[in-house]
Each structure stands twice: as structure tokens, then as C-alpha cells.
């Protein structure tokens, strides 16, 4: 079990690095492991300021994870309009939003029982 957790930790670290490389904002990690019937163990949520930046974040995450872990997402949705892109790495799901879409869906509140870790950025 510890190996699986360390794999998730490495994946999350790579994902966060990919987000930070292109200055993604408001990064949160939601730990869903204590909640029954969840589809994954973690959500990583962030936002970009435009569809161009959302796509840049998604591409940066893919490159970083591929380079460091030789892994790729099982599935990606939402790249066409780039308002909300979901990247499914099976036990970690990444949500890259534009600010207004993130506020509208407010998935942090939907998963209010999850432990939330906010990632401080230096930009």
C-alpha cells in the first residue's frame, strides 16, 4: 500500500510542477481517500486566465509527467474549448479551469468532506 501512495505523491508532485512551470493559479489538492465511493484518490485543481493558458497548463502537465514518470493520462476531456479540462491519471484526476467556470461549478464545495491542501505559488 505504501508504494501506491508514494506513486500518487510522485505523480502529484510532477503535476504541480507542470502547473507551476506555466504559472497556473490557485492550486488545490483534494484528498478523497477517506470518502466512500470516490472515483479516485486525489483531485488536483487549478486555473488559468484564458483558454490559451489552460491548454498550456495541460500540455505542461503532460510533458512533466511523461518526462519524470513515463506516464500519460488515461483520458483527457475538454481540450476543444479549454474552459474546463479534465486529465484522468486513474488515481489522480486533474481539473484545469478558467476562473469563471471554476467558480460556477465550485467542485471544492461539492467535495467538502475532502482534506484540502492549498499550494502556495511564488508568482
Measure the CA–CA gap between 71 and 78, rounded to whole angstroms. 20
pLDDT at residue 48, as a whole number:
97
Query: What's the Cα-to-Cα distance from 15 to each of 20, 35, 36, 109, rounded to whole Å?
Result: 9, 22, 25, 22
In total, how many domains does the chain have? 1
Instruction: Report pLDDT for 4.
Output: 46
Q: What does the pLDDT read at residue 6?
A: 67
**For the whole model, what pTM was predicted?**
0.92
CATH number for the domain spanning 9: value is: 3.30.460.10
Q: What pLDDT score does 3 carry?
A: 46
- Reduced to 3 states, what is the DSSP secondary structure of residue 84? strand
| Structural domain boundaries, residue 45 | 2-119
Looking at 22-111, list the stretches that DSSP marks H as alpha helix, in order from N- to C-terminal side.
51-69, 99-105, 107-110
Tell me the mean pLDDT per 10 residues along the chain, length 123: 65 97 97 93 97 97 96 95 96 97 95 94 85
The per-residue pLDDT for 89 is 97
Amino acid at each position: 500500500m505504501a508504494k501506491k501512495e508514494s506513486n500518487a505523491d510522485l505523480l502529484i508532485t510532477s503535476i504541480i510542477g507542470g502547473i507551476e512551470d506555466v504559472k497556473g493559479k490557485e492550486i488545490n489538492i483534494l484528498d478523497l481517500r477517506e470518502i466512500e465511493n470516490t472515483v479516485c484518490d486525489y483531485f488536483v485543481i487549478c486555473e488559468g486566465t484564458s483558454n490559451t493558458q489552460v491548454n498550456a497548463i495541460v500540455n505542461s502537465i503532460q510533458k512533466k509527467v511523461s518526462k519524470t514518470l513515463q506516464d500519460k493520462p488515461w483520458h483527457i476531456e475538454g481540450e476543444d474549448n479549454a474552459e474546463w479540462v479534465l486529465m484522468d491519471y486513474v488515481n489522480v484526476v486533474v481539473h484545469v479551469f478558467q476562473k469563471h467556470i471554476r467558480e460556477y461549478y465550485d467542485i471544492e464545495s461539492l467535495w467538502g468532506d475532502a482534506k484540502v491542501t492549498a499550494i502556495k505559488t511564488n508568482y
